[in-house]
A and B are shown apart, each in its own frame.
Chain A
């Protein structure tokens, strides 16, 4: 009795969905609290025996699941209960909940087969429709298999409302249970003849989806689609048919010839923009070799472009970019519009027109277009700016820098792009800088200069997006230091104070580059003293003419001598801060001198004269490095620490000897020098080894040594490492456990001491250094900048720019007009340098897309039905052949058998379909012109259909045997290229 009362109370006082929504909106106790309270209620109510209470609870739950994203899988069984209610309103709630919450893994799916079958057979069309809708969302392989006969019946029902939904559900049915094709496909095809627009639209939609997955199988239906294309007046249907033809046409050239005319007719006639656009897209996508059709399409594209509606504009541009690869003229015709669209307010339009501008880029105009685009990017919003930069970078690097002839230009463009304030393309620029450095030998001098300019600009250090670029620049200047104009200055740049802003990974690259630069300087300094005449063999590589060197030599050395004279020679005490400061000051003077000298010269390393490597400069260099390394002795990053220590130890080794031998400069002692110079020579040799690009697959080609079991030993390592946790410490005593250096405790403490010792004076030194730098202008490179940045590219915030934004667009128009119309030869004096390419890496590997196994089954089934032959082998890849397939055949018949009426239907349905090609042909016969093109495959097809008629008449077994015999020969051909009935007649 108590239970009964509570049930009554529940029903009387249950909140309806509306009540719950109102409560939610009032939000007296907060939404989440309210929802959890409501969920508690629902949990209680849904267990009620009263169907009304239960279904209302379920409805509330569906609402919460759908719009408040609460899980409702726990209620699956209650859903089944409500679904089976006989009352329509409850049933609807149940079905809605099922399609909302069921998926392939829902266990209760097994329970609903009979319910669905019952509802599919209901006399109430809305109940049938509920079941169909649900099935279209949740059907599994089992459900699809069990309910195929019911769907088959519904496919030819006279109730159009139901039939169109039955057609819709076929898609899910085929996807889940490909064998359903053998039962339902013919009925589906019959519906293509329907006169009802709703049915036609549904069935064409289904074929559009099917054809998009596996177009080849549906080629035999092309005549049907052709008829619809010509006859139909429904835009929706036409659009879908066009989509189908866009998929089919590439597979069968004869088909394209036939359909291109009707499509053009539609294109000319239609007033609907959607259909027009679809025609345009079909033509430019699939019929791009039909010149007249493309021309017509381009005219229509133009109509879209000039429309006020941004949607049409956008789609027009999109169509244009489809045309671009094959018919660039279409883009050139509209280039004015395209370029103007770059400054459109609509982000879609901007992006699309940028894509088109990039499509117009060729080796003749890349310089101009890139210039204007870079200027344009300066005044764009950050997002679009990066889009521009990204597309410039990707276009220029396409196919291993295919369109770049003047790499000097490109490298300086990269440098310029890095300085754009919004630039976030650090990774890409980093890759390209290094890539170009390794691939293109001739550009290295310029590359080093660009890298140098990037390194010395303190402004770049503050932008975290550019750190990657700086890392690449540091690497480039270290690796190709022999091209550097002034290694001392480079060292200054590397260790300028704000480099402390850099992440440690970048710092590690910096330190290593500093090492290379140092070695190079020492090498150049020591080498000539050992009477090796060709001090810089790299000069030969460069091919710099001697005359240039000679011309500059006297001035240069004279200048340096004067600066040296100004500096009192210092003895042992030269290794102090003051000296380094003073010499740094001198560097700036030197720079000034360099600048005037280098003015107008292209790529001559003028430092290479031995006179530039004076004793003082070398000493100062060593001092600078030593000072800069100080702070890194306490670094937490293993990489940084190791490299810094390497560098310091190296200095430690050579320092004594260098100073000694330098002091007695006049009376040099060969023996004393030997050790230091040997080390330096060794290092220099190591660093001057050419690094080439490495193929991506290089690693794979290294054979794995026998007995090496990578995985296992690494797994072991994992368990070992799991125990050892590096304690987070912020003091300098970092190297405790877990690091590779943990072996020597003594060494650790020693290094600690050392680093502590050194960090103190160096901190003091940096303070002094900064002080000094403040006094003497920033960073020693005051006037250099003007010279470095080659031309007058405007600063980002230049107010002048905003004014001539429009002018700029017009300029762009003019510019590209010139460069595009007059196909002038590139006026580069020098030929394109050699670009190293690696076949394996640079060729884009296109992996053939394997169709899904299920798709394979489906297409096999479809082909079997359509072509009437036993293309069993397609499916037999997945199933054991012959016996299994015949068994399956039997099983399938078993599925069909229960309703004998069905079987008859099946037999009937076969007949008209086999005749339909004939009737269709007779229909086509009326077009006299079409008939003349008689194809040789027609008799074969006729024979085939005759054979099939015979098959129908004679006993099944015999017919099948015969069919297989007949099919055996063309089987392989069928697999590769489906036999296409001669619909072209």
Chain B
């Protein structure tokens, strides 16, 4: 099971955080901080795994990947394969890249909603439901279409309609 997905920048600012075993909000912040503390002390070109028992309790591992200014982090337990998790980070990043055309940190900052859409297509309640970025893209596009459609039903600003209704 996946316990958490995190993206943070090299200063430790979280850009995306999703915990699949519900954690109180203070605890979330603490966890992200301690993960960053571990990651920033690691050199480049070392293995991408970290034993995380001290942070997330027994049977938990971290796999991370460092892209430009961002760390992509997955926290998982022994029901997942380490190398598959590494591939999954790749899938996530590829999908983001397809979605934003050369994704950069700023894209993540300004597309909160869309990133969660992508994330929810890949991870579902701590399980991995989709590993193909093409499939994810398909769903994400459908969802954004649906969203814009539902918004454009009333082209008249709602305030006006509300005013008219009275």
Contacts and interface: CB of A to CB of B under 8 A. Distances in A.
Interface of A: 4, 7-8, 11-12, 17-18, 21, 25, 49-52, 59, 63, 65-67, 69-71, 87-90, 92-93, 96, 103, 124, 126, 132-133, 136-137, 161, 164-165, 168-169, 171-172, 198, 201-202, 205-206, 208-209, 212, 235-236, 239, 243, 273-274, 277-278, 310-311, 313-315, 345-349
Interface string B18-39: 1010100110110000000000
Given A8-B162, A239-B84, A311-B47, A25 B147 contact: no
Contacts of A168: 124-125, 127, 129
B83 A311 contact: yes
Given A50-B162, A69-B28, A310 B46 contact: yes
A69 B49 contact: no
Contacts of A349: 47
Given A239-B84, A347-B46, A50 B159 contact: yes
Given A198-B135, A236-B131, 14 more contacts: A50-B162, A69-B26, A69-B29, A89-B147, A92-B113, A137-B20, A168-B129, A201-B129, A202-B129, A206-B127, A311-B47, A311-B49, A311-B82, A345-B43
A18 B87 contact: no
B102 interface: no
A101 to B, nearest CB: 9
B14 interface: yes
A380 to B, nearest CB: 15
Contact of A198 (B81, B116, B129): B129
B86 A50 contact: no
Contact of B130 (A69, A92, A198): A198
A458 to B, nearest CB: 34
A137 B22 contact: yes
B46 A345 contact: yes
Contact of B14 (A8, A67, A165, A198): A67
Contact of B158 (A50, A124, A311): A50
A52 B151 CA distance: 10
A93 B124 CA distance: 17
A67 to B, nearest CB: 5
A12 B47 contact: no
Contact of A88 (B81, B87, B150): B150
B1 interface: yes
Interface string B134-145: 010001001100
B61 to A, nearest CB: 11
A131 to B, nearest CB: 12
B82 A126 contact: no
A49 B158 CA distance: 11
From A11, A63, A349, residue with most partner B Cβ within 10 Å: A11
Nearest to A351: B51
B49 A314 contact: yes
Interface in B100-139: 109-110, 112-113, 116, 120, 124-131, 135, 139
Given A137-B22, A274-B87, A11 B79 contact: no
A136 B125 contact: yes
Contacts, number: 158
Interface residues of B, number: 59
Contacts of A235: 84
15 contacts: A49-B162, A59-B113, A87-B153, A88-B150, A133-B124, A164-B129, A165-B129, A169-B124, A171-B127, A198-B130, A205-B128, A243-B81, A274-B81, A310-B45, A345-B45
B49 A169 contact: no
A172 B14 CA distance: 28
Interface of B: 1, 14-18, 20, 22, 25-26, 28-29, 42-43, 45-51, 78-79, 81-84, 86-87, 109-110, 112-113, 116, 120, 124-131, 135, 139, 142-143, 146-147, 149-151, 153, 157-159, 162-163, 166
Nearest to B128: A205
B52 to A, nearest CB: 12
Contacts of B146: 88-89, 124, 126
Contacts of B116: 96
- Top 8 nearest A-B pairs (CB, nearest first) are A136-B125, A274-B83, A310-B47, A11-B159, A88-B150, A346-B46, A89-B147, A69-B29
Contacts of B82: 274, 277, 311, 315
A431 B126 CA distance: 43
Given A8-B159, A17-B113, A126 B15 contact: no
A795 to B, nearest CB: 28
A52 B158 contact: yes
Contact of B162 (A7, A67, A172, A205): A7
A164 B78 CA distance: 22
Contacts of B153: 87
A63 B47 CA distance: 32
